[in-house]
Structure 1
Amino acid sequence: MVSTPAVVIAAPASGSGKTTVATGLIGALRRAGHRVAPFKVGPDYIDPGYHGLAAGRPGRNLDPVLVGADRVVPLYRHGSRDCDLAVVEGVMGLFDGRIDEHNTEPIAEGSTAQIAAMLGAPVILVVDARGHSQSLAALLHGFATYDSGIRLGGVILNRVGSERHEQVLRAACARVGLPVLGALPRMAELAVPSRHLGLIPAVEHGSAAQAAVDAMTDLVAAHIDLSAVAALAASKADGPVWDPAAEVTAEESGPVVAIAGGPAFTFGYAEHRELLAAAGAEVRVFDPLRDELPSGTAGLVIPGGFPEEHAADLAANTTLLTSIADRAARGLPIHAECAGLLYLTRTLDGHRMAGVIDAEAEFGPRLTLGYRDAVALTDSPLWSAGERVRGHEFHRTRLTTPSSAAPAWAWRSPSGETIREGATPHRVHASYLHTHPAGNPTAIGRFVSAAADFAQTHAPA
């Protein structure tokens, strides 16, 4: 099967407008009749939500740090099946990735450039035109020649101030032989509301998110040459297509695995549900703001999100909180990441939570962010003590009182300090660390197996 052609949307630096351009391109190309596969480089959960709205199919992530370099192309081919075009939004600047003082290569691990090289796809550079004039040619020359393995296929000028400004910038691009695929005027009204971790997730933003996506689509359709973008798209990604069924063994009993969703728990990867289903689980999504646990729940997944924004409403659903605490005490397998950890504490910003973990949590003063090389300290329904994983932290909350339960993970901070984090009471694995299920399929299979055991043990007489 021929790999789906792609374009990679990159920029010299963060804040250049990649998300606006990528989301608008996805929507405009779909409107023009293309079946578009949307991707995001790195561990971002929020941008893929807007991509999904624009594409009409799940946004997916490509992260060699979390899943391993060997899985990137198979996951790309899996996520782009039945599509004729893919749009891949980059992360930070084109060559920015995981900081490793020992790396001497020009392409950093986890960078947009690394993904573009793996896919053999051309890069479209989005340049924030504010403050740029003729010297833009020098900047573009640097990006075009920094690494011969990266093909810079064109430029999109963003936030252009006037027709004269656009003429000067187009001339600068022409000097280095780079075509201008479009020029977007300054449109402040397109700003999507954000908070401490970036954009507000599309699920929370509701109809306003769809309106923002529609506005991005209209803007791109009016100012970018879609035919030129489609003609530029290419991919040399070759090899097998990722198959969740090949990664796990299916439980024939079909245990019910409930996944917390709704506005408070929006962080997750599409491959997670696919792996759970492939492992034999009957996956049911529920909203902790208003729902009870689905009937027959034998395993519970509580992903990341923004529970601190919904703490009062989460606390008001006392029936659910009590039910989770009772089932956890009876050994219900629970996989909780970041927001899930907070939800299982006694209190969050003074609001009652489930109380499965004997700790309290609050919104904190600083952002904790970065990849972690972690080792499991305790056996759990997902990992055995001593297993190593790569994960990612991304939060501005903290536990104000430590849990007495055994910690989930340990890792070394950049300063060399040993960090012990998370909690594993009962059959619970709760932590701030986000992991990618496609990089840890064995853990997902174990979790479904633990759910099947719980269902059998607690089946009605």
Structure 2
Amino acid sequence: MVGAVPRLVIAAPASGSGKTTVATGLMAAFTAAGLAVSAHKVGPDYIDPGYHALAVSSPRGDRPGRNLDAYLCGPERIAPLFLHGAAGADLALVEGVMGLYDGAGGQGELASTAHVAKLLRAPVVLVVDASSQSRSVAALVHGFASWDPEVRVAGVILNKVGSDRHEELLREALDQSGVPVLGALRRAPQVRTPSRHLGLVPVAERRTEAVDAVRALAAQIRAGVDLAALLTLARSAPRLPETPWAPPVVETSRRPVVAVAGGPAFTFSYAEHAELLGAAGAEVVTFDPLRDEALPEGTRGLVIGGGFPEVYAPELSANEPLRKAVAAHDGPIAAECAGLLYLARELDGKPMCGVLDATARMTQKLTLGYREAVAIGDSALAAAGTRVRGHEFHRTAMEPGAGATAAWGFIHPRRRTEGFVQENVHASYLHVHWAAEPSLAQRFVERCAV
């Protein structure tokens, strides 16, 4: 039945509590038990969904990890996007972002895990880092469970428990909280995932190690968590009345080839983007700028999303045949963040494609946050005046930061121009979720079909 998807939101009091570890382990454990699991992540994060997709991969088929961001897509699209992604699943697990009640800065609950949980009418399981507390855990859980009566904190998983005695003390304290303990996990350094300047190292860069880590997480979850109780809790979620989201289909006689950058250097992409391009009439083909020396045959458009070109600058630079092919490409190009760097003249002194007369370099400054923006001029991606909400997340800088015609004019949180529009190129640091503005994909494919 549409809308009747068993579901749980895996949240935490704060970042670093272990919700990614627990959520990924739960996804893998339930998948290993034979369930078709749909994986979701609150917020704009691209890396966690890669681990989620790995965790829910099974002989029954692969599912992408999907994002649910109420700022980027609007609260009204959260349930429809969830139902679209969870179609045919036996269980959906949603990993939260930051602390349960942390949302877009200065905008109340917007885009918080709590906000998404309410929009999905989903029970919340709180992952608590118990490493430095015992009886105080009851006060912590009570506070989170009672803060917003519309948020149903229905269970606790204790993480980083030190010993059997420690677990006993924690359970005794929580007995009177009214929130049941559904699992207790010991510290397990062997399943930690390495991080660097923008978070976890993506799956695509360490697939063999990631597979082993996910298996270890599943084993740890099976040993320490009551999976049957969690499944019963997930099945208690009420039916959602919304209609599943679907990419608007454009009838066309032409199917231009749109090449989408992938591979270890370009791992940041929302699953809905390829679906939107396909529905708009494109034949979507993936290429790897690290290894492929030519663009896919018949390429009319290029989509180069986010990732870590700064990590792979020497290898990207060494692939001169592809750099020249990109520079010679005369069709539409839509580039975000990593794609912007790849189109520059050079990155950290290494030659790139030279499509843009700009240079890029690593810095110590982290640029991070939600943005509201408007398209400055007409481009292959957006008509002038198109308003979007996006997200910036990088430790690099471009010189100059904007072209003669900028890609976007930021209107919140502060006004400035950013990015480049020239001929058929639209390149910017701003990550935009196209499901909120399907006209972007449609316009891009239309330009590719000319």
TM-score where L is the length of structure 2: 0.96
Q: Does residue 82 in structure 1 map to residue 88 in structure 2?
A: yes
Whether contact under 8 Å (2:401, 2:418) holds in the other structure is no
Matched residue type, 1:242: W
Structure 2 CA distance for aligned equivalents of residues 402 and 192 of structure 1: 34
Structure-2 change in CA distance of 1:192 and 1:347 (3 Å)? same
The corresponding residue for 2:21 is 20
Matches within 5 A, 1:181-330: 181-233=182-234, 234-244=237-247, 247-291=248-292, 292-327=294-329, 330=330
Structure 2 CA distance for aligned equivalents of residues 316 and 46 of structure 1: 26
Deviation of residue 403 (structure 1)?
5.1
Deviation of residue 402 (structure 1)?
4.3
Secondary structure at the aligned position of 1:307 is classed as coil
Secondary structure at the aligned position of 1:308 is classed as coil
Structure 1 CA distance for aligned equivalents of residues 249 and 338 of structure 2: 26
Structure-2 change in CA distance of 1:413 and 1:76 (3 Å)? closer
The corresponding residue for 2:60 is none
The corresponding residue for 1:41 is 42
Secondary structure at the aligned position of 1:285 is classed as strand
The corresponding residue for 2:68 is 62
Structure 2 CA distance for aligned equivalents of residues 2 and 412 of structure 1: 37
Give the aligned CA root-mean-square deviation in angstroms. Answer: 1.1
Whether contact under 8 Å (1:73, 1:118) holds in the other structure is yes
After superposition, the C-alpha distances for 1:62-114 in whole angstroms (9 at most, x for unaligned) are 1111111111111111100111110000000000010126x4xxxx1000001
TM-score where L is the length of structure 1: 0.94
Deviation of residue 212 (structure 1)?
1.1
Matched residue type, 1:228: A
The corresponding residue for 1:352 is 351
Structure 1 CA distance for aligned equivalents of residues 98 and 31 of structure 2: 25
The corresponding residue for 1:456 is none
Secondary structure at the aligned position of 1:253 is classed as coil
Structure 1 CA distance for aligned equivalents of residues 140 and 185 of structure 2: 19
After superposition, the C-alpha distances for 1:108-167 in whole angstroms (9 at most, x for unaligned) are 100000111011110000000111111111111111110110111100000000111101
| Worse overlay, 373-382 or 44-53 | 373-382
Gaps of 5+ in 2: 58-62
Whether contact under 8 Å (2:406, 2:417) holds in the other structure is yes
Whether contact under 8 Å (1:251, 1:449) holds in the other structure is no
Structure 1 CA distance for aligned equivalents of residues 315 and 117 of structure 2: 43
Matched residue type, 1:265: F
After superposition, the C-alpha distances for 1:407-449 in whole angstroms (9 at most, x for unaligned) are 10111454x4x21100111111100000001111111001000
Percent identity reads 56
| Worse overlay, 393-402 or 64-73 | 393-402
Gaps of 5+ in 1: 454-461
The corresponding residue for 1:339 is 338
Secondary structure at the aligned position of 1:140 is classed as helix
After superposition, the C-alpha distances for 1:210-253 in whole angstroms (9 at most, x for unaligned) are 11111111111111010011000024422211111xx2423320
Structure 2 CA distance for aligned equivalents of residues 252 and 242 of structure 1: 25
Q: How many residues align?
A: 441
Q: Does residue 420 in structure 1 map to residue 417 in structure 2?
A: yes
Matched residue type, 2:144: F
Deviation of residue 400 (structure 1)?
3.2
The corresponding residue for 2:435 is 438
Matches within 5 A, 1:396-415: 396-402=395-401, 404-412=403-411, 414=413
Query: Displaced runs of 4+ in structure 1, greater than 6 A?
Result: none
Deviation of residue 404 (structure 1)?
4.0
